[in-house]
Amino acid sequence: MNLEKFRPALYLSSAYKVDYEALWREGIRGILFDIDNTLFPYYVPHATNEAKALIDKLKKMGFKVGILSNGRSERVQLLKQEFGMEGVSRAAKPLRFGAFRMKKTLGLPASQIALIGDQIFMDVLCANRMGFKSILTVPIDPVNDEKSVMKRRGAERKIISRLNLYPEDLQEAGNSDEDKAIPRKAD
């Protein structure tokens, strides 16, 4: 199996640790976010203040921002209103249908869009297939994740290990290799 299709352009501990000014300098003008376990845990019903502040900051910087989520329509609709941005629910990532819709909505070429998410099999693969800059984040709360996602986390840990990935911001901080993979649920 060619694992390179799962390799993110960046791997960071959090969407809040991304150097958005560096992305702007690289020519990125659009940011698409997965929501659940990327900006806040899936069980949090409303946008957090931290997430709202990040989105506001990005808009002030000039980025076009949007949601690309496999989540329920009702949830994404609520979050679109709370954030004041466009989005696609039930995006069917890693398929490209929803990503094509958001690319058209943003009005940008693929090379100017970054997709930030916590899942290799959904977010990174979708971004790479679209030609977006793929940014993988460590899930905010992998222990209390949706059951369907929990089933994929073990396979994701194996891919992360085989690709020898480690969050770049933690490497710089000098942390050890023991937390390289997505954290496991305690037994």
Could you tell me which residue, 173 or 67, shows the higher pLDDT? 67
Considering the entire predicted model, what is its pTM? 0.88
Nearest to 129 by CA among 4, 3, 5: 5
Domains and CATH numbers, the chain: 3-172 (3.40.50.1000)
| Total residues found in the chain within this entry | 187
* Per-chain mean pLDDT for the chain: 89
Least confident span in 27-31, 132-136, 153-157: 153-157
- 26: helix, coil or strand? helix
Cα-flanking dihedrals φ and ψ of residue 72, to 5°? -60, 150
Please tell me the distance from the alpha carbon of residue 167 to that of residue 165, in angstroms, as a whole number: 7
Find all residues with CB under 8 Å of 153, minimum gap 6, and list them: 139, 142, 145, 182, 184
C-alpha torsion angle, residues 105, 107, 112, 117 (rounded to 10): 0
Please tell me the distance from the alpha carbon of residue 106 to that of residue 59, in angstroms, as a whole number: 13
**Residue 165: pLDDT over 80:** yes
